[in-house]
Structure 1
Amino acid sequence: MDAKEFTAGLASLREVRDEIKPLERQLAKLQAELDKLRAQRDEKVRTLGVYEKAKADRLATSAGVSVIDVVALVPSLGPQVPVSAPVEPSPTSSAAEDRAEAQPSAQAIKESAAGALAPDLRSSGQPGTGAPVVEPQAGGDADEHQELQADADTTEAAAPSPAPTAPVPAPVPSGTQERELPSIPEGEAGDRWFYAEPNLASKRPNFKQAARQMAFLDTATGVLVWQGGTVTLDLGRASVAEILSAVYATVPADVERIYVTAGDPWHRDAERHQFLKDAVADWLNGPLPQGWTVEASRGKDRQAGHLVHPRNPVGRWQRGKDQHTEIRSVGEWFDAAGADPATVREAFVLLWKALKRHWDDVVLMGSPSQTGRDLWSRTIPAKAGARWADGFPVMSQEIRGLLHATAGQGRTELITPPRVPERVPGWYEVDRTFAYAKHTWSSGVGVPQRVTAAAFAAMSEKEQTDALFAPSHWQVRVTIPKDWNHVGLLPAPAPGERSWHYPYEGGQTFVTWAGGAEVNLALRNPLQPWRIEILDGLVWEKGDPLKGWANKLKDAWQSLRAQAEVHGDERQRQAARLASRAVRSILLYGIGTFAQRPRITTGSLELGASGEVPEIPDGARLTGISDTHVTWERNGGFARDPYAHPEWAAGVWSAARAALLSASTGTKDPETGKPVKAGALHLPAGSILAFRTDAIYSSVRPDWPYRGEPGDYLLKGAMAWEQTTPTTDEEFYVLQDLGRQALEADEL
Structure 2
Amino acid sequence: MDAKTYTAQLAELRALRDEIKKTRATLAKLESDRARQITALAGYEKAKAERIAPAAGLSLGDIVAIAPILAPDQLTHPAPTAPIGTAVSTPESAEETALPSGSEPAQAQAATVAPAMTRSAPGPAAQPEPPAPAPSVPPAAPTQSAPAPAPVPAPLAAHEAQAHEAPQAHEAQAHEAPQAHEAQAHEAQRTLPAIPEGPDGDRWFDHTANLSSTHPNFTQQARSTVFLDTATGVLVHRDQTLRLDLRTADAGEILNGVFRVLPDGVERIYITAGAPWHRQADRYPFLKDAVGAWLNAPTPGWRTDTGRGKDRMAGHFVHPRNPVGRYQREQGDQHVEIRSAGEWFDTEGTEPTVIRDAFVLLWKALRRHWPDAVLMGSPSQTGRDLWTRTIPTKGQYADGYPVLSEELRGLFHATAGQGRTELITPPRVPAELPALVEYDRTFAYAKHTWKAGVGTPRRVTAATFASWSQKEQTKALFACGHWHVRVTVPDTWKHVGILPAPAPGDRAWHYPATPGTTFTTWAGGPEIHTALSNPMQPWKIEILDGILFDDGKPLDDWSKKLKEAWSSLTAQAALNGDPAQRTAARLAARAVRAILLYGIGAFAQRPRTVTGTTPRTAERDVPDDAEIIGFDDETITWQRPTGFTRDPNAHPEWAAHIWSSARAALLSQRHRDDDISAGALHAPPGTVVAFRTDAVYLTQPQPWPYHGQPGDYLNKGHLTGPVTAPTTEEELLTLRDIGRSTLQATPITEGA
| Interval containing the TM-score (normalised by the shorter chain) | 0.7 to 0.9
User: For 1:292, which of 302, 305, 308 is the aligned residue?
Assistant: 302
* C-alpha distance 567-585 of structure 1, shift in aligned 2 (>3 A): same
The residue that corresponds to 1:266 in the other structure is 277
List aligned pairs for 1:46-445, cutoff 5 A: 74-76=90-92, 112=105, 114=107, 117=110, 123-124=116-117, 135=122, 139=126, 155-156=160-161, 171-173=182-184, 177-289=188-300, 291-319=301-329, 320-383=331-394, 386-445=395-454
Deviation at 1:447, TM superposition (A): 1.8
Q: How far does residue 605 in structure 1 lie from its aligned partner after superposition?
A: 2.6
- In structure 1, the partner of 2:670 is 664
- For residues 337 and 704 of structure 1, what CA distance do their matches in structure 2 show? 31
Partner-residue secondary structure (3-state), 2:745: helix
Residue 646 (structure 1) aligned with residue 644 (structure 2): no
Give the drift of 1:176. 8.7
Instruction: Give me the whole-angstrom Cα distance separating, in 1, the residues matched to 2:741 and 2:367.
Output: 37
Q: Which amino acid aligns with 1:444?
A: G
1:617, 1:264 → 2: CA distance?
A: 31
The answer to whether the Cα contact below 8 Å between 1:473 and 1:513 also exists between their aligned partners in 2 is yes
Q: Quick one: which of 446, 463, 485 aligns to 2:472?
A: 463
Structure 1 CA distance for aligned equivalents of residues 654 and 419 of structure 2: 15
Deviates more, 1:627-636 or 1:308-317: 627-636
Judging changes above 3 Å, is the alpha-carbon distance between structure 1 residues 110 and 617 closer, same or farther for their aligned structure 2 residues?
A: farther
Amino acid at match of 1:156: A
Verify: 1:693 aligned to 2:699, yes or no.
no
Q: Confirm whether residue 719 of structure 1 aligns to residue 715 of structure 2.
A: no
Deviation at residue 599 of structure 1 after TM alignment: 1.3
Match of 1:707 in 2: 707
CA distance in structure 2 between the aligned counterparts of 1:110 and 1:201, rounded to whole angstroms: 43
- Tell me if structure 2 keeps the 8 A contact 1:477–1:535: yes
Q: Which one-letter code corresponds to 1:226 in the other structure?
A: H
Alpha carbons of 1:507 and 1:248: their partners in 2 closer, same or farther (altered >3 Å)?
A: same
1:498 Cα shift?
Answer: 6.3
1:710 shift after superposition = 0.2
Q: Secondary structure at the match of 2:708?
A: coil
Residues 257 and 230 (structure 1), Cα distance of their counterparts in 2 relative to 1, 3 Å cut: same
Change (3 A) 1:625 1:701: farther
Q: How many residues align?
A: 624
- The question of 1:632 aligning with 2:638 is answered yes
Letter in 2 for 1:243: I
Go from structure 1 to structure 2 and tell me whether the alpha carbon gap of 1:638 and 1:355 turns closer, same or farther (over 3 Å shift): same
Q: CA deviation at 1:174?
A: 7.3
Which structure 2 residue ranges, 5 or more long, are not aligned?
A: 1-50, 63-86, 128-154, 164-179
Unmatched tracts of structure 1, length 5 or more: 1-18, 32-70, 80-106, 127-132, 141-149, 159-168, 669-674
AA paired with 2:269?
I
Structure 1's 115 and 716: CA in aligned 2 closer, same or farther, altered over 3 A? farther
The Cα of 1:603 is off from its aligned counterpart by 1.5
| Structure 1 residues 209-236: Cα deviation after superposition (integer angstroms, max 9, x where no partner) | 1110100001111110012511121111
Distance 1:351 1:115, change over 3 A: farther
Question: Match for residue 559 of structure 2?
Answer: 550
- Equivalent pair of 1:111/1:511 in contact (CA under 8 Å): no
1:67 equivalent in structure 2: none
2:387 partner SS:
helix
Could you tell me the percent identity over the aligned residues? 57
Query: Among residues 572, 591, 607, which one is paired with 1:598 in the alignment?
Result: 607
1:269 and 1:455 map into 2 onto residues whose CA distance is 60
Question: Residues 430 and 151 from structure 1, CA distance in 2 versus in 1: closer, same or farther, beyond 3 angstroms?
Answer: farther
C-alpha distance in 2 between matches for 1:308 and 1:418: 40
Q: 1:323 deviation in Å?
A: 0.6
The correspondence of residues 440-451 of structure 1 with structure 2, limited to 5 A, is: 440-451=449-460
Q: How far does the alpha carbon of each residue in 1:689-721 deviate from its partner, in whole angstroms, 9 at most, with x for none?
A: 110000001111122111100001111111112
The separation in 2 between residues aligned to 1:176 and 1:306, in whole angstroms, is 41
Of the structure 1 ranges 244-253 and 256-265, higher mean CA displacement relative to structure 2 is found in 244-253
Cα distance in structure 1, aligned partners of 2:637 and 2:450: 42
Range moving further from structure 2, 658-667 or 531-540: 658-667
Question: Distance in 1 between the 2:744 and 2:449 partners?
Answer: 32
Distance 1:334 1:678, change over 3 A: same
Q: Distance in 2 between matches of 1:645 and 1:113?
A: 37
- What's the offset of the Cα at 1:743? 1.4
Q: TM-score, normalising length from structure 1?
A: 0.79
Q: Residues 369-424 of structure 1, C-alpha deviation per residue, up to 9 Å, x if partnerless?
A: 000000000000102xx021111111111111111111111101010111111111
Distance 1:266 1:687 in 2: 42
Q: Which amino acid aligns with 2:678?
A: A
Contact 1:216 1:341 in 2 (8 A): yes
Taking the aligned partners of 1:170 and 1:120, their CA distance within structure 2 comes to: 36
The question of whether the paired residues in 2 share the 8 Å contact of 1:116 and 1:535 is answered with no
* 3-state secondary structure, aligned to 1:723: strand
For residues 428 and 252 of structure 1, the distance between their equivalents in structure 2, rounded to whole angstroms, comes to 53
SS of residue in 1 equivalent to 2:208: strand
Q: 1:74, CA displacement in angstroms?
A: 4.8
Q: Which amino acid aligns with 2:729?
A: D
CA distance in 2, matches of 1:176, 1:279: 38
CA contact (8 A) 2:215 2:400 kept: yes
Q: Distance in 1 between matches of 2:88 and 2:636?
A: 30
Partner of 1:731: 731
